[in-house]
Structure 1
Amino acid sequence: MRFPLLVLHILGGTIGLLGGTFAIAVRKGGRLHRASGNVFTIAMLTLASSGLCLAILKSQHGNIIGSIVTFYMITTAWLAGRRRKLDRYDWAALLVGLGGAAAVITLGVQTLHHPDKNAPAGMCFFFGVVLLLAASGDIRMLTRGGIAGRQRITRHLWRMCFGLFIATGSFFLGQQQVFPAFLRGSIFLTVLAVLPFPLMIYWLFRVRFSKAYKVQPPPTPIPATP
């Protein structure tokens, strides 16, 4: 049972890292970006689903948290990338975000009194804050009837990048035994693990100051001449 899940988990993670890196590198909004983004999404959802099953089987609370956060962030990012109207999936995502935040913060409080090496309190609170921020964005979107332009791209961008960070952090920091001994614990692996954050900041600035992402007002109708 565990071995097929482990193989699926490794394949999902490998394809996710490659697909996410390619999606960041190519021109945004183009065919290659959309294709690589879809591959990244499928791979990351596979990674999260298989990781959740493995974490439950091994009673690894930290990996359960990471899997739920990854699934939520990637799903809502992909939905934001599509030009679509709000539907029941957005309300379901909000419930997952709020429920996940409550569960993660509760686990963090518990680990303050009963330390768990698989789910340190600092990590729990960090993910809890991220989930609360994401859920607040869900609430704003739902109460406004949707988002467009820069807000939609920003929502898509930061959630995808955070999902990629979970993958890079889990691999370059959590699986250092697969690297040569001279690289283990090095700053090089740390830089690779946190690389999605500076890339995210770069693209957020591009979106913020580029006219291409502004919501264009509808054209003023020209009155018909008699």
Structure 2
Amino acid sequence: MNSISLARGQVFAGLGLIALLVVSVGIGAPAWADRLEAPADAPLLARLAVDALLYLHIGGGALGLTSGTIAILSRKGAPTHRLAGRVFFLSMFVSYAIGAGVAPFLESGQRPNFIAGIVALYLLLTAWRAARRSDLTAGAAEYAGLVAAALIVAAGVLFSYQGANHPSGTVDGSPPQAFILFMVVGGFAVLGDVHLILRRQLSRTARIARHLWRMCTSLFIAAASFFFGQQQFLPDFMIGTPWQYGPVLFPLIALVVWQVLIRIPKRRAPRPA
């Protein structure tokens, strides 16, 4: 079994486990709390499923943030980069899938979090595909990705409109400006997918660029979700300081730097006389 088939098997196995846990939560009680927490009187199966999902989500996110940072800082193509990239993909896949899958079952409105999870998951999967296939060509996955990206843009426009016309000025607590991210990221993704479909195949530089910007943006979403969305778990000395903003901006800075570096022509070693 080659490495791509093995990775696919791991993905499908992870999806099956997450789906089983989410179904267990849905059967036990469809909407309990504002957070992923089950009350003491919930069925045992539901409480176990909730605890498993919570720890997998937190653990996957923490491991993903760490491994993603290592992958960005390490030399591209080196063993360290490849290993960190695999860990980042698998850990963030679990974290994103749980976040998007559980959101509909929570008591408070979670539509922005649900879409954010879908965006991050879409970027992660398409970036992984670009990295794993040196002969990346337009196929069914790319057409499906184009549809997903277009729906992300549509969701951003819809939520922005709903928030602007809602009495609270928000959609489930998020202002209309928050959905600009969906429209911008989804728009770039649509352009990238259309470019690949029209060209049928990407050059090596274009393929690496596709991989890098999608991975970095996926890491940015994860970092922003934790350092901004869960800042109550941060120590007081970090809030409002570069220690809080730095980890969120780091993937975006790395995205720009690497997009420039991969386009710089490499010097060829001189031929021996």
Pair in the same fold by TM > 0.5: yes
Segments of 4+ moved more than 6 angstroms: none
Q: Map Cα deviations across residues 141-197 of structure 1 (whole Å, 9 max, x no partner).
A: 011111022111111111100000011111111111112223223232012211111
Ranges in structure 1 where 5+ consecutive residues have no aligned partner: 213-226
2:75 to 11, 19, 27: 27
| Contact 1:52-1:68 at 8 Å conserved across structures | yes
Q: Map Cα deviations across residues 122-155 of structure 1 (whole Å, 9 max, x no partner).
A: 1212211210111111011011111022111111
Asked whether 1:84 is paired with 2:135, we answer yes
Asked whether 1:99 is paired with 2:151, we answer yes
1:182 aligned counterpart, secondary structure? coil
> How high is the TM-score relative to the length of structure 1?
0.88
- Aligned pair count reads 212
Q: 1:117: how far off?
A: 4.9
Asked whether 1:69 is paired with 2:124, we answer no
With over 3 angstroms needed to count, the CA separation of the structure-2 counterparts of 1:29 and 1:188, relative to structure 1, is: same
| Contact 1:78-1:156 at 8 Å conserved across structures | yes
| Contact 2:111-2:172 at 8 Å conserved across structures | no
> How high is the TM-score relative to the length of structure 2?
0.74
With over 3 angstroms needed to count, the CA separation of the structure-2 counterparts of 1:85 and 1:176, relative to structure 1, is: closer
2:65 to 17, 28, 37: 17
Greater length-normalized contact order (CA 8 Å, ≥ 6 residues apart): 1
Q: 1:7: how far off?
A: 1.3
Equivalent in the alignment of 2:174: 119
RMSD: 1.6
Ranges in structure 2 where 5+ consecutive residues have no aligned partner: 1-24, 26-49, 268-273
**Percent identity at matched positions?**
36
